[in-house]
Amino acid sequence: MEGFNATIFAYGQTSSGKTHTILGNETDPGLFQLVSNQLFQHVADQVDKRYLIRCSYIEIYNEKINDLLDKSNQGLTIREDIKGNVLLDAREPVVDNVDKVMENMMQGNKIRRVAATRMNERSSRSHTIFRIILESKDANQKDGCTYKLP
């Protein structure tokens, strides 16, 4: 929000608490909920800036990249351009509150690949990246800046 990209990365053995740390539950919010709350509170507090917030949710499974916000879950193509790696045709819906961010996360989780293991009945079989893209500009400015929270 001050011009820096940020990443939250969860790594560990099955059933070590990665999902709980990131997502939490109804009584104990996880990092995802806390960061989203902070983001939208910050945006609401700014009177001299305008914001556009979008999100994307992708899954990497068997060396294929899938869009978890596209119900057809078609594979995505990755390309490199002057800005770095770009996913072609990944959905990036605009979100204007925390509930919409959470809805997108839950929608994607419904089609994420999971399977039972000895340690976890719903163990993920893939890696996912949920991105929040925050574009800001001064209220009286035409061009703005884009920040990513991958």
Q: Which residues are annotated as a binding site for ATP?
A: 12-19
Which candidate, 43, 46, 75, 72, places its Cα nearest to that of 59? 75
Q: How far apart are CA 143 and CA 119, in angstroms?
A: 50
Burial of residue 68 (number of CB atoms within 10 Å: 0-12, 13-18, 19+): buried
Q: Centre a 10 Å sphere on the Cβ of residue 56 and count the other Cβ atoms it contains.
A: 22
Q: Taking the alpha carbons of 35, 98, 120, 117 in that order, is the dihedral positive or negative? A: negative
